[in-house]
Amino acid sequence: MYYLIMCLFRFKWKGHIWPAMFVILLNNLQSYLVRNELNMDNVSPLITIIVFILFFAAVVRMPVVLSVIATVSGYVIFAAVQTALVFLLFGSLTAVNENLYRGYLLQTATAIVIVASFWLLYRKGKGFTFDLDKLRLKLEDIVLTVLIVVFLLAISVLLLFNNLLVNIVFFLVMSAFLLYYSTKKEQEDA
Protein backbone atom coordinates (compact mmCIF):
# COMPACT_ATOMS: atom_id res chain seq x y z
CA MET A 1 0.00 0.00 0.00
CA TYR A 2 2.90 2.36 0.74
CA TYR A 3 4.39 1.81 -2.71
CA LEU A 4 1.00 2.21 -4.39
CA ILE A 5 0.30 5.54 -2.66
CA MET A 6 3.75 6.97 -3.25
CA CYS A 7 3.64 6.07 -6.96
CA LEU A 8 0.02 7.16 -7.45
CA PHE A 9 0.72 10.59 -5.99
CA ARG A 10 4.17 10.91 -7.63
CA PHE A 11 6.29 10.97 -4.47
CA LYS A 12 9.75 9.40 -4.38
CA TRP A 13 9.11 6.15 -2.54
CA LYS A 14 12.80 5.39 -1.94
CA GLY A 15 13.25 8.60 0.05
CA HIS A 16 11.15 7.36 2.96
CA ILE A 17 11.72 3.61 2.72
CA TRP A 18 13.24 3.05 6.20
CA PRO A 19 10.56 4.91 8.17
CA ALA A 20 7.99 3.22 5.91
CA MET A 21 9.41 -0.22 6.72
CA PHE A 22 9.08 0.56 10.43
CA VAL A 23 5.45 1.69 9.96
CA ILE A 24 4.67 -1.37 7.84
CA LEU A 25 6.16 -3.63 10.53
CA LEU A 26 4.12 -1.79 13.16
CA ASN A 27 0.95 -2.20 11.07
CA ASN A 28 1.64 -5.92 10.60
CA LEU A 29 2.11 -6.35 14.34
CA GLN A 30 -1.07 -4.45 15.23
CA SER A 31 -2.98 -6.37 12.55
CA TYR A 32 -1.83 -9.70 13.97
CA LEU A 33 -2.66 -8.70 17.55
CA VAL A 34 -6.02 -7.13 16.76
CA ARG A 35 -7.12 -9.97 14.46
CA ASN A 36 -5.74 -13.02 16.26
CA GLU A 37 -5.54 -12.02 19.91
CA LEU A 38 -8.53 -9.68 20.21
CA ASN A 39 -10.69 -11.23 17.43
CA MET A 40 -11.60 -7.77 16.11
CA ASP A 41 -11.00 -8.31 12.37
CA ASN A 42 -13.07 -5.30 11.30
CA VAL A 43 -11.06 -2.81 13.39
CA SER A 44 -7.61 -3.65 12.04
CA PRO A 45 -8.03 -1.94 8.61
CA LEU A 46 -9.21 1.20 10.38
CA ILE A 47 -6.09 1.29 12.54
CA THR A 48 -3.90 0.65 9.48
CA ILE A 49 -5.49 3.57 7.64
CA ILE A 50 -5.06 5.93 10.60
CA VAL A 51 -1.40 4.93 11.04
CA PHE A 52 -0.71 5.54 7.33
CA ILE A 53 -2.47 8.92 7.43
CA LEU A 54 -0.27 9.94 10.35
CA PHE A 55 2.83 8.56 8.61
CA PHE A 56 2.18 10.48 5.38
CA ALA A 57 1.41 13.68 7.26
CA ALA A 58 4.36 13.50 9.67
CA VAL A 59 7.15 11.75 7.75
CA VAL A 60 6.41 12.34 4.06
CA ARG A 61 5.17 15.84 4.98
CA MET A 62 1.96 15.69 2.96
CA PRO A 63 -0.71 18.18 3.98
CA VAL A 64 -3.28 16.43 6.16
CA VAL A 65 -5.96 16.68 3.46
CA LEU A 66 -3.70 15.02 0.89
CA SER A 67 -2.57 12.46 3.44
CA VAL A 68 -6.18 11.44 4.06
CA ILE A 69 -7.05 11.42 0.34
CA ALA A 70 -3.90 9.48 -0.57
CA THR A 71 -4.27 6.89 2.20
CA VAL A 72 -7.94 6.21 1.62
CA SER A 73 -7.48 6.17 -2.18
CA GLY A 74 -4.56 3.77 -1.80
CA TYR A 75 -6.46 1.53 0.58
CA VAL A 76 -9.49 1.42 -1.71
CA ILE A 77 -7.39 0.58 -4.77
CA PHE A 78 -5.45 -2.05 -2.80
CA ALA A 79 -8.70 -3.57 -1.52
CA ALA A 80 -10.28 -3.53 -5.01
CA VAL A 81 -7.27 -5.34 -6.51
CA GLN A 82 -7.14 -7.86 -3.69
CA THR A 83 -10.90 -8.48 -3.78
CA ALA A 84 -10.77 -9.01 -7.55
CA LEU A 85 -7.89 -11.46 -7.09
CA VAL A 86 -9.86 -13.35 -4.43
CA PHE A 87 -12.71 -13.69 -6.90
CA LEU A 88 -10.48 -14.63 -9.87
CA LEU A 89 -8.12 -17.03 -8.07
CA PHE A 90 -10.30 -18.62 -5.40
CA GLY A 91 -13.94 -17.73 -6.10
CA SER A 92 -14.73 -16.76 -2.51
CA LEU A 93 -13.22 -15.41 0.67
CA THR A 94 -14.17 -18.61 2.45
CA ALA A 95 -11.89 -20.58 0.11
CA VAL A 96 -8.99 -18.28 1.04
CA ASN A 97 -9.69 -18.59 4.76
CA GLU A 98 -9.78 -22.41 4.58
CA ASN A 99 -6.08 -22.69 3.82
CA LEU A 100 -3.24 -20.59 5.25
CA TYR A 101 -1.17 -20.97 2.08
CA ARG A 102 -3.96 -19.49 -0.03
CA GLY A 103 -3.74 -16.37 2.12
CA TYR A 104 -0.01 -16.16 1.44
CA LEU A 105 -0.63 -16.75 -2.26
CA LEU A 106 -3.25 -13.98 -2.28
CA GLN A 107 -0.90 -11.52 -0.58
CA THR A 108 1.91 -12.40 -3.00
CA ALA A 109 -0.35 -12.08 -6.05
CA THR A 110 -1.66 -8.74 -4.79
CA ALA A 111 1.87 -7.44 -4.27
CA ILE A 112 2.96 -8.56 -7.75
CA VAL A 113 -0.03 -6.94 -9.47
CA ILE A 114 0.24 -3.68 -7.52
CA VAL A 115 4.02 -3.27 -7.71
CA ALA A 116 4.10 -4.10 -11.43
CA SER A 117 1.13 -1.86 -12.27
CA PHE A 118 2.22 1.15 -10.26
CA TRP A 119 5.88 0.82 -11.26
CA LEU A 120 4.73 1.02 -14.88
CA LEU A 121 2.44 3.99 -14.19
CA TYR A 122 5.20 5.82 -12.31
CA ARG A 123 7.75 5.15 -15.06
CA LYS A 124 5.32 6.52 -17.67
CA GLY A 125 4.87 9.70 -15.63
CA LYS A 126 1.27 8.93 -14.68
CA GLY A 127 -0.18 9.80 -11.32
CA PHE A 128 -1.36 12.84 -9.43
CA THR A 129 0.65 15.89 -8.53
CA PHE A 130 -0.67 18.67 -6.36
CA ASP A 131 0.52 22.13 -5.46
CA LEU A 132 0.94 21.27 -1.80
CA ASP A 133 0.71 24.91 -0.68
CA LYS A 134 -2.79 25.23 -2.10
CA LEU A 135 -4.18 22.31 -0.11
CA ARG A 136 -6.01 24.08 2.68
CA LEU A 137 -9.20 23.07 4.37
CA LYS A 138 -12.23 24.51 2.60
CA LEU A 139 -15.88 23.51 2.68
CA GLU A 140 -15.28 20.98 -0.07
CA ASP A 141 -12.43 19.42 1.89
CA ILE A 142 -14.53 19.25 5.03
CA VAL A 143 -17.29 17.44 3.09
CA LEU A 144 -14.70 15.08 1.64
CA THR A 145 -13.26 14.41 5.09
CA VAL A 146 -16.74 13.57 6.41
CA LEU A 147 -17.25 11.22 3.44
CA ILE A 148 -13.94 9.54 4.20
CA VAL A 149 -14.89 9.03 7.85
CA VAL A 150 -18.18 7.49 6.68
CA PHE A 151 -16.15 5.32 4.30
CA LEU A 152 -13.92 4.14 7.15
CA LEU A 153 -16.94 3.19 9.22
CA ALA A 154 -18.49 1.45 6.21
CA ILE A 155 -15.35 -0.66 5.77
CA SER A 156 -15.79 -2.02 9.29
CA VAL A 157 -19.43 -2.89 8.62
CA LEU A 158 -18.60 -4.40 5.23
CA LEU A 159 -15.95 -6.66 6.69
CA LEU A 160 -18.48 -8.01 9.17
CA PHE A 161 -20.74 -9.27 6.36
CA ASN A 162 -17.93 -10.94 4.33
CA ASN A 163 -19.88 -10.66 1.04
CA LEU A 164 -17.37 -10.73 -1.82
CA LEU A 165 -19.60 -9.17 -4.50
CA VAL A 166 -20.69 -6.33 -2.21
CA ASN A 167 -17.02 -5.73 -1.37
CA ILE A 168 -16.09 -5.57 -5.07
CA VAL A 169 -18.87 -3.10 -5.87
CA PHE A 170 -18.14 -0.95 -2.82
CA PHE A 171 -14.39 -0.76 -3.43
CA LEU A 172 -14.80 -0.12 -7.16
CA VAL A 173 -17.30 2.69 -6.55
CA MET A 174 -15.03 4.25 -3.91
CA SER A 175 -11.99 3.89 -6.21
CA ALA A 176 -13.84 5.58 -9.06
CA PHE A 177 -15.03 8.42 -6.80
CA LEU A 178 -11.62 9.07 -5.26
CA LEU A 179 -9.79 8.87 -8.59
CA TYR A 180 -12.37 11.23 -10.15
CA TYR A 181 -11.98 13.65 -7.25
CA SER A 182 -8.17 13.51 -7.46
CA THR A 183 -8.27 14.10 -11.23
CA LYS A 184 -10.65 17.04 -10.77
CA LYS A 185 -8.41 18.59 -8.08
CA GLU A 186 -5.32 18.16 -10.24
CA GLN A 187 -7.03 19.85 -13.20
CA GLU A 188 -8.11 22.73 -10.97
CA ASP A 189 -4.53 23.16 -9.79
CA ALA A 190 -3.17 23.23 -13.35
> Whole-model pTM?
0.64
The mean-pLDDT minimum among 17-31, 63-77, 158-172 falls in: 158-172
Q: Looking at per-residue confidence, does 60 or 189 come out higher?
A: 60
pLDDT tens-digit readout, 107-121: 889 999 999 998 898
List Cβ<8 Å contacts ≥24 apart for 70-74.
70/5, 70/8, 70/9, 71/5, 72/148, 72/151, 72/152, 72/174, 72/178, 73/5, 73/8, 73/175, 73/178, 73/179, 73/182, 74/1, 74/4, 74/5, 74/8
| pLDDT above 60 (res 75) | yes
How high is the mean pLDDT of the chain? 77
So what's the pLDDT on residue 116? 93
| pLDDT above 80 (res 140) | no
